[in-house]
Amino acid sequence: MLDLKLLASSSAGLLLVYWYLRRTVRSPYASLPLPPGPKPLPIIGNLLQIPTRHEAQVYQQWGRDLNSDILYLNLAGVSIVVINSAEIANELLERRSSIYSSRPDSVMCTELMGFDDLVPLVPYGDTWRAMRRFLHREFHPQASLQYRPFQIEATHDFLRRLLESPDNFSTHITHMSGKAIMDITYAIKVEPYDDPRIRTASLAVEAVAEASCPGAFWVDTFSFLKYVPEWMPGAGFQRKAREWHAVADDMYNKPYDTAKQLLASGTSAPSFVSRCLEGLNGTQSDSDVQENLIKKTAGTLYAAGTDTTSSTVKTFLLAMLLNPDMQAKAQKELDEVVGHGNLPDFSHQDSLPYVNAIVKESLRWRPVTPQGIAHVVTTEDMFDGYRIPAGSVVIPNQWAMLHNETTYPNPSRFNPERFLDSAGRLDPSVKDPALAAFGFGRRICPGRFLALSSIYIDIACVLATFNIAKAVDADGVPITPPGDYTPNGIVVSPLDFKASITPRSKATRAAILAQST
């Protein structure tokens, strides 16, 4: 018979050993101070100080006030580390990527909203590695070249839409990005106007962008709130989560089901989904798991590829409207290299340094993800004499990195010439903003080569064919846009502004109309 007294004494002994070890075995970094940060309040720490608007700019200012490029916040027990310099980001997120590559556990975004398998949010591990393999195989630099015809087709369609209704340029930009990514991901031809799948992608990005901000929803800090019913006062987040979950389901399932139907009928063109499905092998159960990963990875491409590129192209238009002299220089270069009345393509890219500089400056001036996408450090670490607790959420402040006065003098000014040398060639000594704009380490954006080629061809073709100027009011007075952006969220975009977009000449108009529809 089991000796209960012996069991009890053994259990007590194990507990004493555990208590002793907890008291005596300490982290080698336990005595080190935490990085500086705003003074916390008792219990809740900095929870009430966390910014809800223009977060990246607030973090940058805190860093200046505290004379530190690394900051620490405590949100009711959740450690937040903010990195304001590219050098620190490279040291921690690149060189120490083995412990800095996971993602925060967001109750709101993953459990309640259903975005748990969105690749940027998946924790570091086997599932993420499997999804990443699909993306790397299809979107490494050489593989990305196969998608250029889709990008050119979408850009030419965009030019025609600008001719027809230039005032709707913002809608046309979103349609252009959505058209290209739907072709590339699913081989689906979108509807000419107001395609519901493009709307779904935009809604998904908006939802994730809002929910992923640290401190945006208290349920991420106090997880027990997920059990609060929707009808209770203060539980409006539950209603939002339910509505956003429906968006997530549509994003993952509807285009994927259509792509599978096209594939089964033999009418599908090659796409990311078709190539991944054709490569499946193994047992039925393994194939089912792999197929689910393909579906979720495709959903990520579909959502992320629609709004992020759109934001950069809108930033470019805003910059050209505000800087007509720079627009004129780029158009002169295009006319000399491509010929006035001709549309540029990828064969011209290496001969267009000023246009390429505009692409770089559009990425730098108003980064699409100003506060980056948060990492999580899985093991306690030390940097520059500071302790970084295990489990800390690490925010790479891309805005601060891309607006560093030492790297980019006068950073608030849009100035593509900062990337050129005295001979007008791209200057390799100036840091490429893409090194920060697309993330860091093992979590760097796998679609960055695709995104960069899309942005180049969009910008080059618009500059070659249109003049972008200030719109005028009823009295003929030019309207200068304030240049405001969405004030919060992981992904930001220019708020709607008016612009006058007109063909440069009859020759450029004819060049646009000459492209087949």
What does the alpha-carbon distance between residue 392 and residue 379 come to, in Å, rounded to a whole number?
9
What does the alpha-carbon distance between residue 235 and residue 283 come to, in Å, rounded to a whole number?
44
CB neighbour burial string for 389-416, b if at least 16 within 10 angstroms, e if fewer: bebbbbbbbbbbbbbbeebbeebeebbb
β-strand 381-383 against 386-388: which pairing, if any? Answer: antiparallel
DSSP 103: -
Cβ atoms of 113 and 203 closer than 8 Å: no
What does the alpha-carbon distance between residue 248 and residue 207 come to, in Å, rounded to a whole number?
9
What does the alpha-carbon distance between residue 221 and residue 47 come to, in Å, rounded to a whole number?
9
What does the alpha-carbon distance between residue 23 and residue 7 come to, in Å, rounded to a whole number?
24
Element (H, E) at 79: strand 78-83
Q: How many other CB atoms are there within 10 angstroms of residue 497's CB atom?
A: 19
What does the alpha-carbon distance between residue 195 and residue 331 come to, in Å, rounded to a whole number?
33
Q: Is 276 annotated as a binding residue?
A: no
CB neighbour burial string for 1-25, b if at least 16 within 10 angstroms, e if fewer: eeeeeeeeeeeeeeeeeeeeeeeee
What does the alpha-carbon distance between residue 434 and residue 141 come to, in Å, rounded to a whole number?
14
What does the alpha-carbon distance between residue 131 and residue 85 come to, in Å, rounded to a whole number?
29
Q: How many other CB atoms are there within 10 angstroms of residue 243's CB atom?
A: 12
Cβ atoms of 57 and 399 closer than 8 Å: yes
Longest dimension (CA), the chain: 99
Element (H, E) at 80: strand 78-83
Which pair of structure tokens corresponds to residue 159? 């030019």
What does the alpha-carbon distance between residue 50 and residue 63 come to, in Å, rounded to a whole number?
14
User: What distance lies between CA 317 and its chain's CA centroid?
Assistant: 20
Q: Which residues are annotated as a binding site for heme?
A: 445
Q: Which residues are annotated as a binding site?
A: 445
